[in-house]
Structure 1
Amino acid sequence: MTRWFLIRHAPIEQAWSGRIVGRTDVGIESGADGTQLLRSLPPRATWVVSSLRRTSQTAAALGGRDWQVVPALAEQDHGDWEGERWSDLLAIDPRAPEYLATYDRTRPPGGESLEDVRDRCIPAFTAISRQANASDVVAVLHAGPIRCILATVLDMPLSSALKLSVAPLSLTLLEGSCDQGWQVVTVNQVFARKLG
């Protein structure tokens, strides 16, 4: 049995709060204690991060070492909307209402749909699971890929994925295998909001 410890990265730099930062490479805020989360992680595991620095910064703050960088597990690319404020989106782009109503299958201009994210994340999740060979994996990722993984293992429509809360520094734990299936042990268990 393989266990996946899916951790959403720490909160992003305050200057980016409220902005669309899917594939924008921003850092994390510092300040709080990740000790409780760290205690929940296995002492020996394969560590995985995306190609965006907020995941490697969080992994380092949690004591991770020698992690594997997996670009396929990066956050959704919001294309032309990256850096804009969510609250301004409707005024900026008349296509925003369609996207917000069908985000799972509609691409923002120059970006990815959630289906696109799933289509690149799940093969990586499967390959890492098979390589793990019944050992533990700690993956510091983003809300989008975590939701895609959860929707897939739960056979849930991707259109319902935003109903899954994935807070910064939360832990989602899966147990199982690609051949035998996965059990969701916990979702969005929050220990701290920041790391320092």
Structure 2
Amino acid sequence: MEIHVIRHTPVNFDKNRCYGQLDTPLAEGFIENAKSLSNQLSDCYEQVITSPLSRCVKLADELNLKDSKRDNRLLELDFGDWEGQLWNDINQKALNTWMEDFVNNSPTNGETLNQMYKRIAEFIDSLRSENFDKVLIITHSGVIRCFWAYFLEIPLYNIFKLPISFGEVFKFNLGDNKQYDSVKQLK
């Protein structure tokens, strides 16, 4: 199964604020970004799946992928009480604790990276049982990093070494079993 995964286009939100599952709007110019993206995409996806957040759903709509399905497992990391706060306003002790082990520690009332990875791995495993040739997914950078970790068995502590730009498209090949999985970035 060939899976094309897109990170949503830029958002209209203060970059100094924490956001994961906060439903932030897309930035002006997203229509032009969508047009540029459409040139990189196939026109024969058997299934289109998006995060339920509007920044992904709106992009799917702009790409004329109106029959897309929403899947909560494709949500970005849940930053809990930190959502929408300025990073500088977050309790420094709590922030430091999280940063010391962001894989196993969670933001206050949020989820750990390990919990997020498990839901993404479950999503990918569920796709493996489907009989599709080509699938398109529109989601978030954290989710895409979890895809990379899954496919290449990268330790979660290293996934932030993978730069993922807004509107970037990746191709993952899901084999009959994990041994035959592969990754290719589209340009």
**TM-score > 0.5, shorter chain as reference:** yes
Aligned to 1:136: 134
The separation in 1 between residues aligned to 2:169 and 2:15, in whole angstroms, is 21
CA RMSD of superposed structures (Å): 1.7
The separation in 2 between residues aligned to 1:26 and 1:176, in whole angstroms, is 31
Shift of 1:61: 1.8
Aligned to 1:30: 28
The separation in 1 between residues aligned to 2:101 and 2:41, in whole angstroms, is 36
Aligned to 2:157: 159
Greater Cα shift, 78-87 or 66-75: 78-87
Q: Is the 8 A contact 2:18 2:87 kept in 1?
A: yes
The separation in 1 between residues aligned to 2:21 and 2:112, in whole angstroms, is 13
Show the 5 A alignment for 1:44-59. Answer: 44-45=44-45, 46-59=47-60
The separation in 1 between residues aligned to 2:27 and 2:81, in whole angstroms, is 25
TM-score for both structures, normalised by structure 2: 0.90
The separation in 2 between residues aligned to 1:33 and 1:162, in whole angstroms, is 24
The separation in 2 between residues aligned to 1:34 and 1:83, in whole angstroms, is 26
Structure 2 unaligned regions, length at least 5:
none
Aligned to 2:167: 169
Show the 5 A alignment for 1:1-150. Answer: 2-14=1-13, 16-31=14-29, 32-45=32-45, 46-89=47-90, 92-131=91-130, 133-150=131-148
The amino acid of 2:24's aligned partner reads: V
The amino acid of 1:127's aligned partner reads: S
What whole-Å deviation, never above 9, does each CA across 1:147-193 have from its counterpart, x for those lacking one? 11110110110111111111111111112325153111117x5xxxx
Aligned to 1:193: none
Greater fraction strand: 1
The separation in 1 between residues aligned to 2:166 and 2:110, in whole angstroms, is 23
Structure 1 unaligned regions, length at least 5:
190-196
TM-score for both structures, normalised by structure 1: 0.86
The separation in 2 between residues aligned to 1:82 and 1:101, in whole angstroms, is 19
The separation in 1 between residues aligned to 2:86 and 2:18, in whole angstroms, is 6
The separation in 1 between residues aligned to 2:16 and 2:80, in whole angstroms, is 16
Q: Is the 8 A contact 1:9 1:169 kept in 2?
A: yes
SS at match of 1:95: helix
Q: How many correspondences in the alignment? A: 183
The amino acid of 2:21's aligned partner reads: R
The separation in 2 between residues aligned to 1:18 and 1:178, in whole angstroms, is 42
Q: Is the 8 A contact 1:153 1:181 kept in 2?
A: no
